[in-house]
Copies of this chain bind each other. A is one copy, B any other.
Amino acid sequence: MDYEKLLATRTANMKASAIRELLKVAASPGMISLGGGLPSPDSFPLELMHELTERVLRKYGAAAMQYDMTEGFGPLRRALIDYCATKGVDAKLENIYISSGSQGFLDAIGKVLVSPGDIVAVEGPTYLAALQALNAYDARYAMIQTDDEGLIPESLEYVLRTNEVKFVYTIPTFQNPSGKTIGLKRRIAIADIIQRYNVLLIEDDPYSSLRYRGEHLPTIKSMAPEHVIYVSTLSKIFAPGLRIGFCVAPEAIGKWLTIVKQGVDLHSSTYAQALGAEYLLGGFVPPQVEKIIKIYQPKLDAMLLALEQNLPDGYKWSRPEGGMFLWVEGPKGLDMEDVYHIAVKKNVAFVPGKYFFPNPADGIETMRLNFTCVTEEQIHYAIKALAEALQEETLLVNHA
């Protein structure tokens, strides 16, 4: 059978995540990968799982294994009210929805809101899987400019003034891919702009708990609650393999997110949600976050130091106070994909930054580095090798 001729027109717009293809190379034996986005397996609370299982079976019994409401497992939704309050997000039960990872909401929001050709305003660079989710609904993108402090409010305002934007999508804290964080003043300005332009903003916040230094910043949701859907996850504070995301949304949108989710998976795993509920209710988040910070902070510091020691003039990089990524910008004219091919020969992998831009002609000279899944020794070696690869590529370019 010729299966290709059966494909829908939208399918032609899709392609395998470039990161995943690159990561196949990155997964080769002996490779030091700065390319992934995985939490360290050392960070997972494995030792807790028996106790959580015990609690789940005792408290919920068969209900933890049964079909459940599309909106989410009641005890988890209720537990998230308190958790969201720690983020300054004021939520009632009817505002909290569970999905299969926060990715589930990127898909559902696209399905509910995006008609083919609708414009979504995103930071450049932005989260690749958000583009992937929205591409399936034929979204177009308006790119908001960023600098060292992330999204530039004036650029947001310009984009809103010159485009009919369906919604704005941003990761304000320790952004994936850049590691950058939008400062307080800018958050206030953004909250003001979206209210003045009466536009919806999706605040994707998976990383804010992973702050290794500096002060926690208020969410944009807390400043413009009616204009923001707050999306987060238990992936970074518990375990990604449970696939539990959540959002805080106006009920008028949440009801549509629920209807589309019915068609997508009926509901997320009740059992995983029950484990998540007991994890939150048992007070396990604060010690777990403390444990994660102890694991990640030295890795981040090692990478910042290695970049300082090895990268030549003409390079700059983000200096995040948390999260899992940082971002390197080389001189204009450098193609990081070429550097990538040199680096993998030295057994070091990363992700060329252009993949994180809605327009693939942008960000040619950038790269994303992840530091959570490698040791400090590996970081030291890898950044040195990367500096060599950059130098070799620069020589090649200058000769050509």
Known: A1-B250, A57-B49. A264 touches B115 (CB 8 A): no
Known: A57-B46, A66-B39, A103-B263. A6 touches B167 (CB 8 A): yes
Question: B residues within 8 A CB of A46?
Answer: 57, 61-62, 65
A66/B41 in contact, CB under 8 A:
yes
* Residue in B7, B53, B54 whose beta carbon sits within 8 Å of that of A112 in the complex: B7
CA distance A115 to B6 in the complex (A): 10
CA distance A64 to B107 in the complex (A): 24
CA distance A129 to B226 in the complex (A): 32
Interface residues of A in 135-156 (CB under 8 A from B): 135-137
CA distance A17 to B63 in the complex (A): 22
Known: A66-B241, A260-B14. A103 touches B41 (CB 8 A): no
Known: A111-B136, A252-B3, A264-B103. A66 touches B240 (CB 8 A): yes
Known: A6-B166, A250-B1. A256 touches B11 (CB 8 A): yes
CB distance from A245 to the nearest CB of B (A): 9
Question: B residues within 8 A CB of A41?
Answer: 61-63, 65-66
Question: B residues within 8 A CB of A61?
Answer: 41, 46
* Residue in B101, B113, B266 whose beta carbon sits within 8 Å of that of A8 in the complex: B113
Query: Binary interface profile of A, 89-122, with partner B (CB < 8 Å = 1, else 0)?
Result: 0000000000111011011000111110010000
Known: A38-B66, A46-B62, A269-B272. A7 touches B256 (CB 8 A): yes
CA distance A258 to B132 in the complex (A): 12
Question: B residues within 8 A CB of A129?
Answer: 262-263, 266
Known: A38-B67, A67-B38, A241-B67. A265 touches B107 (CB 8 A): yes
A103/B136 in contact, CB under 8 A:
no
Interface residues of A in 241-262 (CB under 8 A from B): 241-243, 250, 252-253, 255-256, 258-260, 262
Question: B residues within 8 A CB of A239?
Answer: 65-66, 271
Instruction: Say how many copies of this protein the assembly contains.
Output: 2
Interface size class of A (residues with CB under 8 A): 35 or more
Question: B residues within 8 A CB of A39?
Answer: 66
CA distance A50 to B53 in the complex (A): 7
CB distance from A293 to the nearest CB of B (A): 18
CB distance from A291 to the nearest CB of B (A): 14
For residue A337, CB closer than 8 A to chain B, the reply is no
For residue A285, CB closer than 8 A to chain B, the reply is no
For residue A198, CB closer than 8 A to chain B, the reply is yes
For residue A227, CB closer than 8 A to chain B, the reply is yes
For residue A267, CB closer than 8 A to chain B, the reply is yes
B268/A100 in contact, CB under 8 A:
yes
Known: A263-B132, A272-B271. A1 touches B198 (CB 8 A): yes
Interface residues of A in 1-53 (CB under 8 A from B): 1, 3-4, 6-11, 14-17, 20, 37-39, 41-42, 44, 46, 49-50, 53
For residue A324, CB closer than 8 A to chain B, the reply is no
CB distance from A52 to the nearest CB of B (A): 9
4 A-B pairs closest in CB distance: A241-B270, A41-B62, A65-B239, A100-B265
